[in-house]
Amino acid sequence: MSIKLRNTVLAAIALILGSLAVAAPAQAGCNGTKCYGSVVTNPKSTAYGYAYNRVSGRSANNAAQANCPGNCRVYVIFRNSCGAIAVGRNGVYGWAAHKSRKWAKYYAVRNCSKYGFGCKLRVWSCTRYSRR
């Protein structure tokens, strides 16, 4: 193959690959420093769902709802942090969002315990840019 033909073929391949990269769909996960997550639950059952590293709060909540096998209505949406939900034996729930997984979980149980009893952590999740 001549050098001119080889360079032409390489240029054509580079052009095709470059156009594919531009036409590729957006990544499902977060980008930059804006990562959203969501945790959802149904306090009257054991159903829960979660999502993390999404591009928007809406997409995170939709994904968490889709991952919940029950009718989950209680939800927390968070950005660059962690979210948690705790549920008490009397159906009361508490939630929290915090940069730290430890504190999100702690505050969820604490908030539930203000109005309920026997509160236990049901679900938690963290995004990429949280302090786990």
CA 84 and chain centroid, separation: 12
Is the confidence at residue 24, as pLDDT, over 50? no
Separation of alpha carbons 56 and 2, rounded Å: 51
Separation of alpha carbons 38 and 63, rounded Å: 8
**74-130 confidence digits (pLDDT tens):** 899 999 999 999 999 988 999 999 999 999 999 999 999 999 999 999 999 999 888
Is the confidence at residue 18, as pLDDT, over 50? no
User: Which pTM does this prediction carry?
Assistant: 0.75
CB burial readout 106-123, b (16+ within 10 A) else e:
bbbbebbeeebeebebbb
Mean pLDDT over 62-80 rounds to 93
Q: How many Cβ atoms from other residues are within 10 Å of residue 26's Cβ?
A: 7
Per-residue pLDDT, 43: 80
Per-residue pLDDT, 85: 96
Percent of all residues in the chain with a pLDDT value above 90, rounded to a whole number: 62
